[in-house]
Amino acid sequence: MRSDWEFPDTTQPSALDQLLSKELEAVVEQAVHSLSPKLKTVLLLYDVEGLSYEQIAETLGIPMGTVKSRLFAAREQVRKQVEPYLRGESE
Amino acid sequence: MSCKRYRRLLWSYASDELRAAERAAVEQHLTCCAHCRHTLQSVQQTLQALRAMPRHRAPESLLARVHAEIARQPAKRTAVPSGRRWMVPLGWRWALAPVLGVLVALLWWWSQSPHPTPPQPFPEVAVTSQEYAETCIEMHQQLEMADWAGTPTANYLITTGFTR
């Protein structure tokens, strides 16, 4: 038995996990691009670019409530498109 | 609170944006709702994938050029003489030409066609009603005298002008 044998590091994502993560990102990206321009803009500005609700409202010239409702609608549309992939992955 | 309401909160829960009371309410609901637990799982995975999306940044040189161009824009606008801002652009002037032609034709037709003159007010009565009544009585008396008298009196002849 080799004395320098170590347990695999399970805290780091495996190659399979990384591959699945890349696949999921591709599915999400496709779902994002299928959104309407209004929803896509708010989603990308908030979740990808990290702008605040106030900054988005000011930039687009819309009320903050509209920003929140568009963000929720966009996220739900993306999740519903991604969910079948996630179910297939978990099975 | 219904599952639909919680579904809206699940995104904020996954982003750690909820207040303590809301967070506790969501966690309590999750302990007894398998459907929302399943939804939360897909919400977390979707959110993670969204945040991992590449941020397409423009090169710094392009950004600098865009900012410089934006900074120049107000200067171009103010360069237009303020006295000419009301003027219609050339394209719109051509589009308005037929409308102006129709208006001119209508004005010419209206000036040529006979149109009724507005009713004129009655001329002001030169005498007062009292004077008019006195004149009527006087004439009436003279006529009576002329009808009934066999020969016209001197007064009648003088007032009616039959002096010859």
Sequence ranges of the domains in chain B = 3-51, 129-160
* Smallest CA–CA distance from A76 into chain B, residue: B43
For chain A, report the end-to-end CA distance as a whole number of angstroms.
37
Torsion of CA B84, B85, B86, B89, to 10 degrees: 90
Kindly report, residue by residue over A44-63, the tens digit of the pLDDT.
999 888 889 999 999 899 99
Write out B31-65 in H/E/C secondary structure.
HHCHHHHHHHHHHHHHHHHHHCCCCCCCCHHHHHH
The most confident of the ranges A31-40, B83-92, B101-110 is A31-40
ipTM score for this prediction? 0.75
Query: Which of A25, A43, A82 is opposite residue B42, by nearest beta carbon?
Result: A82
Angstroms from A68 CA to nearest CA on chain B:
10
Q: Is the pLDDT of residue B125 over 60?
A: no
> Looking at the 3D structure of chain A, how many domains does it have?
1
Joined together, the tokens standing for residue B71 give: 């900074």
> What is the reported pTM?
0.52
Contacts of B41 in chain A (CB under 8 A): 86
Kindly report, residue by residue over B8-51, the tens digit of the pLDDT.
899 999 988 899 999 999 999 999 899 899 999 989 988 888 88
Percent of chain B with pLDDT over 70: 55
CATH number at A36 reads: 1.10.10.10
**DSSP letters spanning B50-109:** HHTS---PPPHHHHHHHHHHHHHHHHHHHTS-GGGTTSPPHHHHHHHHHHHHHHHHHHHH
Other Cβ atoms less than 10 A from the Cβ of A14: the count is 11
Q: Is the pLDDT of residue A37 over 90?
A: yes
* Smallest CA–CA distance from B46 into chain A, residue: A79
